[in-house]
Structure 1
Amino acid sequence: MFKIFIQRPVLATVISILLVILGVLGLTKLPLQQFPDIAPPSVLVTAVYPGANAETVLRSVAPSLEESINGVENMTYMSSTASNDGSLAITIFFKLGTNADQAAVNVQNRVAQATSQLPAEVVQQGVTTAKQQNSFIMAIGMYTEDESKYDQTFVANYAQINIIPEIKRIPGVGSAAIFGGVKDYSMRVWLNPTQMTTYKVTPNEVMKAIQDKSLEAAPGKFGEKSKEVFEYVIKYKGKLTKPEEYENIAIRANADGSILHLKDVARVELGAYSYNSITRINGKKAIVIGIIQLAGSNSNDIQVAINKMMEKSEKSFPAGIKKNIFYSTKVALDQSTLFALILAIGIVVDDAIVVVEAVHAKMEHKGLGPKAATHEAMHEITGAIISITLVMAAVFLPVGFMEGSTGVFYRQFAFTMAIAIVISAVNALTLSPALAALFLKDNHSSHSDQPEVKPNFKQRFFNGFNHSFNSLTNRYVGGLKFLVRHKWLSMGGLALITLATVFMVKTTPAGFIPTEDQGFIAIAVNTPSGTSLEGTQKVMTQAENMLSKLDASRDVTAISGFNLLTNSTSPSSAVVFVLLKPNEERGAVKNIEEIMNQVRGTLGGISGGSFFVFSFPTVPGFSNVEALDMVLQDKTGGKLDKFSGISQQFIGELMKRPEIAVAFTSFKADYPQ
């Protein structure tokens, strides 16, 4: 049946053109990301209990939510983190392959069932449920060059109003948010304990007075369905918007006729919603916007669109506000697909070579013309090509149906290889024989009756190449004959290669995915329990100054008050991101592991804090650290200090193992964070 492609080469050409068109369409439509999303889907539930500490949150908020959420469809496990700022984060993990959107809906329904059991303050703040996305592709910094003119709160609100909405409208953006807490403009009421004691006023009285005097209302209108000539809509100014308006709120009327105002017991100012973090970029007050990519979108298009949008927006920035795009991902098809394409190129070319070599052999040994040689060669090798294709496809296809994270990671690789092998066979059975019959020349027939023509440079080159190739082939055949005569040498070489392979398998470091130089390192900072944000910031200032002087350092971004390892806020925690220069500009030390060791040595001289230097995982979603996470669970319900002692004993045993460099925990029983 394949003879038709030799007789009608146009048909073979059309098939190949269709394959090329499909390839171009696939190349333009495939999502661009570094690796496939292999982490199990997860949903994050967050709640805030204003003024509560971590233990209070765990007693009054977490149990109700956890009991209600537990057992949601396809759930594997969940973990909770409470902080002393009153925040609670519950992360629910699901089986691999679960639809994340449906999982979020199921969790939201369970959360709604527990709402009535939560404190009123928590319900008023709101309990949010959202699926977690792991494809972090970009980080944009905005900083102020004149802190006396624009502070961090202004920069954060400017970005929240003018920049983040624009970013969210770009196709493919999953989320865009400011790191380091909420900085929205809010009316801050700082109570004076001494004055409140003098006037015998409680915080609840102050809160009730503010809620009573500053509220939104629908007052209605006059004159509807009446005989009056006019109708009037009642206008109400709504919530108070200026500090002096809040200062004049009456808390109570005294027996002597005097009125106690809010300004008598408190100081009112327009400030930020929270002051639990400080962000600096290269020593300047700043904010950081993190951008996450939607699954299946094109990260290249997203980053190009964001860069264009930021360049346009920068022209209208207030004087002194600057941008700094200090992190972006590599732009390419994911690594497993690229690896499969590299292998597939060799396989596709190999099938075509088999056809050409078979036709060439018929022309050389039987003296047939190109078309006749192609017919006879394809008659002999068609079955072999089909068999090879089926066997090789059978090798890779099962990999695509493996379960778990490994199966998801290699699925694209397996299907890319299998499809490429099939396309290779189609090409070898259609276009290759058609081109061989059309373009191969019969140079093996005798032409003794024709006068000799002096060869030109091209002919001399090919004659020399053929002579060298034939000489190499003869030596290879001679080597094979020698090994056939001395079988013990062949078997000895095979045994040696086998032993070397076993040795390398035993000694080569193993891992899921090797660590890559992403040009980016992170440093988790911890100060003694109870350290204020200002105390932590002093330590961070020393670290920033030292890191900025490193030859390999390009940008240093520091966020005080944020614990990256637990994704929680704490005044005694901080994180530093160091963006490295391109490899050729890093100076004497270029290897990222050596740079990390250099950073450890540099920061080791700072007293008042501990520094953990690490790189982000090559594949996101499992952890924030390129390391192994372990979880200890106390099922006895004992005291925290006892549990802390057990955890320290466990860490001590881990440190005794030779394969573990560092083991640590963020759990602190003396001052829970």
Structure 2
Amino acid sequence: AIAFSALLALSLTPALCATLLKPVEKGHGHARKGVFGWFNRVLDTSRAGYTRTVQGSLKRTGRLMAIYLVLFAAVAYGFVRLPGGFLPVDDQGFITTDVQTPSESSYARTEGAVEQVEKYLKNRAGIENVTFLTGFSFLGQGMNTAQAFITLKDWSERGPKESAAAIVADINRDLSSVRDAKISALQPPPIDNLGNSSGFSFRLQDRGQKGYAALIAASDRLIAEANAGPVLQKVYVEGLPPAPQVNLMIDREKAGAFGLTFEDINNTISTNLGSNYVNDFPNRG
């Protein structure tokens, strides 16, 4: 295809140009009437104006360089001062706080940590309402977790020291001394359904097949170094730490002898150890 195109360009195209294109006398395009004559006149006028502008600019290089430096400084200032993310984190009027006690903690121990956090939040200026869910968090579910949904006062009633970012910073700083729990306050993402908090996430992979223990050790070291730096804050691992688990082996043959299915056993255990939603029912058929 390339060779055929080159052959046409070198043989047929010049012959067609010599046949179709004829010399035009000077001024003939301006004398032509209609749209083509108007187009030629406008094009020549624009070309002449552009030529005069370039010639005049070449005589004032110092002034043009000064204007260029001012524009460059304005762009550099905007690059440094303006947010560089996809969307800046905004004060949306509410924040969340995750409470996490050690993996083997009881419900009473988690509830004690929740009471400390709740007491602090109720005395913090700028907060209107606090709702806690014990046993649930964005990181996972268990007796050692709790999640607080914090509603802030109206923007007109809060000053700069009571903004969402300031309250989050105060919570993370003041509650870091709680010994029985790890408390993390976060702002919601700029766009709904894009995660549970602002910031970014990445994955740590065990490509060398070192094992689970080595992966956890590398994760702890990475988090410690990231939090110690001046750029990042509140770096954490999504999910709950390892905890003891119960492994149930169900004898399907014996269960079948009693007339029980695997689904019946699973639902019964789930209801007793967890919960079951029974609030909705058909009313009057």
The answer to whether structure 1 residue 634 and structure 2 residue 206 are counterparts is yes
> What is the SS of the residue equivalent to 1:534?
helix
Is the CA contact (8 Å cut-off) linking 2:165 and 2:187 kept in structure 1? no
Report the alpha carbon displacement of residue 537 of structure 1 after superposing the two structures with TM.
1.1
Pairing partner for 2:125 from 551, 560, 567: 551
Pairing partner for 2:220 from 628, 635, 648: 648
Structure 2 counterparts to residues 77-116 of structure 1, below 5 A: none
Structure 2 counterparts to residues 515-554 of structure 1, below 5 A: 515-554=89-128
Label 1:490 to 1:569 Cα distance change in 2 as closer, same or farther (>3 A). Answer: same
Q: TM-score, normalised by structure 1?
A: 0.26
Is the CA contact (8 Å cut-off) linking 1:644 and 1:668 kept in structure 2? no
Q: Distance in 1 between matches of 2:241 and 2:178?
A: 25
The answer to whether structure 1 residue 576 and structure 2 residue 176 are counterparts is no
Which letter maps to 1:608?
A: D
Higher strand share: 1
Label 1:589 to 1:582 Cα distance change in 2 as closer, same or farther (>3 A). Answer: same
Is the CA contact (8 Å cut-off) linking 1:644 and 1:667 kept in structure 2? no
The answer to whether structure 1 residue 597 and structure 2 residue 147 are counterparts is no
The answer to whether structure 1 residue 512 and structure 2 residue 118 are counterparts is no
Which letter maps to 2:184?
A: F
Structure 2 counterparts to residues 195-344 of structure 1, below 5 A: none
Q: TM-score, normalised by structure 2?
A: 0.58
Q: Distance in 1 between matches of 2:201 and 2:107?
A: 28
> What is the SS of the residue equivalent to 2:223?
helix
Label 1:584 to 1:495 Cα distance change in 2 as closer, same or farther (>3 A). Answer: same
The answer to whether structure 1 residue 621 and structure 2 residue 193 are counterparts is yes
> What is the SS of the residue equivalent to 1:556?
strand
Which letter maps to 1:654?
A: A
> What is the SS of the residue equivalent to 2:162?
coil
Q: Distance in 2 between matches of 1:581 and 1:622?
A: 24
Report the alpha carbon displacement of residue 522 of structure 1 after superposing the two structures with TM.
0.7
Which letter maps to 1:527?
A: T
Q: Which residue in 2 is equivalent to 1:607?
A: 179
Deviations 1:452-490 (A, max 9, x none): xxxxxxxxxxxxxxxxxxxxxxxxxxxxxxx99966334
Q: Distance in 1 between matches of 2:206 and 2:231?
A: 27
Q: Distance in 2 between matches of 1:545 and 1:658?
A: 30
Which letter maps to 1:578?
A: I
Q: Distance in 2 between matches of 1:666 and 1:485?
A: 63
Q: Which residue in 2 is equivalent to 1:501?
A: 75
Is the CA contact (8 Å cut-off) linking 2:106 and 2:143 kept in structure 1? yes
Report the alpha carbon displacement of residue 628 of structure 1 after superposing the two structures with TM.
1.3
Is the CA contact (8 Å cut-off) linking 1:556 and 1:576 kept in structure 2? yes
Q: Distance in 2 between matches of 1:670 and 1:547?
A: 29
Identity across matched positions, percent = 23
Deviations 1:13-50 (A, max 9, x none): xxxxxxxxxxxxxxxxxxxxxxxxxxxxxxxxxxxxxx
Report the alpha carbon displacement of residue 672 of structure 1 after superposing the two structures with TM.
6.4
Label 1:667 to 1:643 Cα distance change in 2 as closer, same or farther (>3 A). Answer: farther
Deviations 1:99-140 (A, max 9, x none): xxxxxxxxxxxxxxxxxxxxxxxxxxxxxxxxxxxxxxxxxx
Is the CA contact (8 Å cut-off) linking 1:641 and 1:669 kept in structure 2? no
Unaligned runs of 5+ in 1: 1-382, 384-482
Unaligned runs of 5+ in 2: 1-38, 40-56, 246-285
Report the alpha carbon displacement of residue 646 of structure 1 after superposing the two structures with TM.
1.8
Is the CA contact (8 Å cut-off) linking 2:99 and 2:145 kept in structure 1? yes
> What is the SS of the residue equivalent to 1:589?
helix
Q: Distance in 2 between matches of 1:517 and 1:668?
A: 28
Aligned residue-pair number: 191
Report the alpha carbon displacement of residue 622 of structure 1 after superposing the two structures with TM.
3.1
Q: Distance in 2 between matches of 1:484 and 1:639?
A: 68
Q: Distance in 2 between matches of 1:620 and 1:540?
A: 27
